């Protein structure tokens, strides 16, 4: 596939083009984590194949794929390396906004950047105290004579997922009148500082650390007031939550790959086994089958939930709101199953063999650590409780962005 912004893209073409890149990611995933080495070349190669155009309409220069096609690609990336899949989340979220909202502010500009293969990072999260979700990053008018219509932003953001890979950073800031604005700025703009300080037990290479903004100057067209009150479907977080579930499904699939490989290529039967080789031991086979079932469950619910989001497209009015609420709850239920499936699959890997499977050089522990870290983004207890309330009383999900 050619990789320029005049090319015609298809879902099948993108998947074929990225297959060898995913193979390289898979082969080096354990070593990169041990050595704390980022997959810069592989991510650059994925971007060159315009992966974020998968779900954008062909009329807009995209591949014309569905939400299911996007989710399936995310699962495949996470199966190769869940760190990379997570690092690309903001880029896919940006592409989903372009695909789903014709009224998106600065849509044409954002679409052009996606067609150029640019990657995005973004977060509203801060560690500066205050109530959950409060914004302390400040935005004020620029007094400089050459930018009187522009702005200056100061603050600090955390969980800047994908920040070291990105071309653009999107964040939120509070204006002098208390209005919350969104802004998008090139990562090489003077005053933007990206730190590699993410220190979780898992997903260590997602570049999810701090972004500091030191008197960063913004043009007028790089800032927009955030007002989602008029949207017919206010659950803007449904796709973002589906993405996390897809990462979990990819982790479960990776656990299956490693368990099957170790049983086939490395494991020795225990002393009282009835089998001459581990791959013929009925309990090893049963364990791998249990892992396969978890991976299958995670993948299945993710793809089904993707279809529920797709079904909301092109609806209007009360019909759109009802379908949006149903899709949001479906994604919440999916999160519960995908998280629990990935955690269990990652745990069961170690039942395939004896002590040798725990060798640190194999890095199999990363599957559980990665699944656990993704799960902590948005607690599944809340997902289950919201789904339960909806099923019992019809109560709509919160519109906080986590549903």
SS3 category, 155: strand
In a domain, 305, yes or no: yes
Based on the fold, state whether residues 112 and 46 are members of the same structural domain.
yes
Do 176 and 280 have their domain in common? Answer: no
pLDDT for 35-90, tens place per residue? 999 999 999 999 999 999 999 999 999 999 999 999 999 999 999 999 999 999 99
The predicted pLDDT at position 144 comes to 75
Residue 314 sits in the same domain as residue 378: yes
**Domain assignment of residue 402, yes or no:** no
What's 63's domain CATH number? 1.10.540.10
Query: 248: pLDDT confidence band, cut at 50, 70 and 90?
Result: very high
Give the span between the Cα atoms of 279 and 221, in whole angstroms: 61
State whether residue 269 is helix, strand or coil. coil
Q: Evaluate whether residue 261 is within a structural domain.
A: yes
How far lies 215's CA from each of 71, 192, 195, 204, 257, in Å? 38, 9, 17, 29, 48
- pLDDT above 60 (res 3): no
What is the reported pLDDT for 226? Answer: 81
| Any domain includes 3 | no
How would residue 1 be classed by pLDDT, with cut points 50, 70 and 90? very low
pLDDT at position 400 over 50: yes
| Per-residue pLDDT at 158 exceeds 60 | yes
Confidence band of 227 (pLDDT split at 50, 70, 90):
confident
Q: What is the DSSP letter of 201?
A: S
pLDDT band at 271 (very low <50, low <70, confident <90, very high): confident
Q: For residue 2, what pLDDT is reported?
A: 43
In a domain, 91, yes or no: yes
CA dist 371 and 366 (Å) reads 8
Where in the sequence is the domain holding 20, given as residue range(s)? 11-118
Torsion of CA 196, 202, 205, 208, to 10 degrees: -50
| % of the chain surpassing 70 pLDDT | 97
Domain count along the chain: 3
Among the listed residues 111, 63, 119, the one whose alpha carbon sits nearest the alpha carbon of residue 91: 119
Q: Are residues 82 and 191 in the same domain?
A: no
Query: Is residue 1 in a domain?
Result: no
CATH (domain of 245): 1.20.140.10
pLDDT-derived band of residue 146, with 50, 70 and 90 as boundaries? confident
Single out the residue in 191, 225, 259 at which a domain terminates.
225
The residues, any chain, with a CB within 8 Å of residue 26's CB and separated by 6 or more, are 79, 80, 81, 254, 257
10 Å Cβ neighbour count for 65?
24
Mark whether 245 and 215 lie in a shared domain: no
**Rg (Cα) of the chain, in Å, rounded?**
22
Q: Does the CA dihedral 362-29-243-294 come out positive or negative?
A: negative
Per-residue CA distances from 127 to 192, 198, 210 (Å): 17, 13, 9
Question: From CA 180, how far away is CA 178, in angstroms rounded?
Answer: 6
Domain membership flag for residue 124: no
Instruction: With a cut of 90, say whether residue 251 has pLDDT above it.
Output: yes
146 in the same domain as 37: no
Q: Are residues 96 and 195 in the same domain?
A: no
Number of continuous H segments (helices) and E segments (strands) in the chain = 11, 8
| pLDDT tens-digit series, residues 358-374 | 999 999 999 999 999 99
What does the pLDDT average to over 130-157? Answer: 84
CA distances, 184 to each of 34, 81, 223, 271 (Å):
33, 27, 7, 61
Same domain for 256 and 219: no
| Contact assessment for residue 171 and residue 51, using Cβ atoms and an 8 Å cutoff | no
245 and 219 share a domain?
no
Closest CA to 119 of 215, 209, 42: 42
CATH number, domain of 191, equals: 2.40.110.10
Closest CA to 19 of 56, 53, 46: 46
d(CA 183, CA 169): 8
SS3 122: strand
The pLDDT score that the predictor gives to residue 277 is: 84
Confirm whether 130 is domain-assigned. no
pLDDT averaged over the chain? 94
Helices (H), 311-364: 317-348
312-349 b/e with 16+ CB inside 10 Å = b?
beeeeeeebbebbbbbbbbbbbbbbbbbbbbbbbbebb
pLDDT digits (tens, 9 = 90+) for 163-212: 999 999 999 999 998 899 999 999 999 999 999 999 999 999 999 999 99
Nearest in space to 331 (alpha carbons), one of 242, 237, 251: 242
* Mean local confidence (pLDDT), 240-262: 98
Confidence class for position 279, pLDDT limits 50, 70, 90: confident
């Amino acid at each position: 596939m050619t990789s320029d912004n005049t090319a015609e893209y298809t879902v099948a073409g993108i998947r074929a083009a990225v297959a060898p890149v995913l193979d390289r990611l898979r082969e080096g995933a354990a070593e990169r984590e041990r050595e704390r080495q980022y997959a810069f070349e592989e991510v650059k190669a994925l971007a060159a194949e315009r992966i974020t155009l998968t779900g954008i309409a062909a009329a807009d220069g995209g591949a014309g794929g569905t939400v299911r096609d996007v989710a399936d690609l995310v699962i495949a990336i996470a199966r190769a390396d869940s760190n990379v899949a997570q690092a690309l989340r903001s880029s896919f979220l940006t592409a989903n906004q372009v695909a789903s909202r014709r009224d998106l502010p600065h849509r044409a500009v954002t679409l052009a950047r996606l067609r150029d293969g640019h990657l995005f990072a973004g977060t509203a999260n801060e560690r500066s105290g205050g109530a959950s979700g409060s914004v302390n990053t400040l935005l004020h008018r620029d007094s400089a004579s050459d930018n009187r219509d522009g702005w200056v932003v100061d603050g600090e953001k955390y969980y800047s997922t994908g920040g070291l890979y990105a071309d653009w950073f999107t964040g939120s800031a509070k204006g002098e009148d208390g209005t919350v604005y969104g802004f998008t700025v090139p990562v090489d703009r003077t005053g933007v500082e990206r730190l590699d300080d993410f220190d979780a037990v898992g997903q260590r290479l997602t570049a999810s650390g701090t972004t500091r903004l030191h008197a960063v100057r913004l043009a007028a067209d790089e800032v927009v007031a955030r007002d989602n009150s008029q949207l017919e479907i206010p659950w803007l977080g449904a796709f973002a939550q589906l993405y996390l579930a897809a990462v979990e499904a990819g982790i479960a699939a990776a656990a299956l790959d490693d368990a099957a490989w170790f049983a086939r290529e490395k494991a020795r039967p225990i002393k009282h086994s009835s089998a001459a080789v581990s791959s013929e031991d009925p309990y090893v086979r049963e364990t791998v089958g249990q892992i396969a079932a978890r991976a299958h469950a995670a993948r299945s619910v993710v793809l089904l939930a993707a279809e529920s989001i797709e079904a909301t497209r092109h609806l209007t009015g009360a019909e759109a709101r009802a379908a949006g609420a149903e899709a949001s709850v479906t994604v919440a239920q999916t999160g519960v199953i995908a998280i629990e499936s990935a955690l269990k699959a990652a745990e069961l890997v170690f039942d395939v063999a004896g002590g040798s499977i725990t060798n640190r050089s194999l890095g199999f522990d990363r599957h559980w650590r990665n699944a656990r870290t993704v799960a902590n983004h948005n607690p599944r207890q809340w997902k289950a409780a919201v789904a339960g309330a909806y099923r019992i009383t019809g109560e709509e999900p919160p519109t906080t962005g986590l549903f």
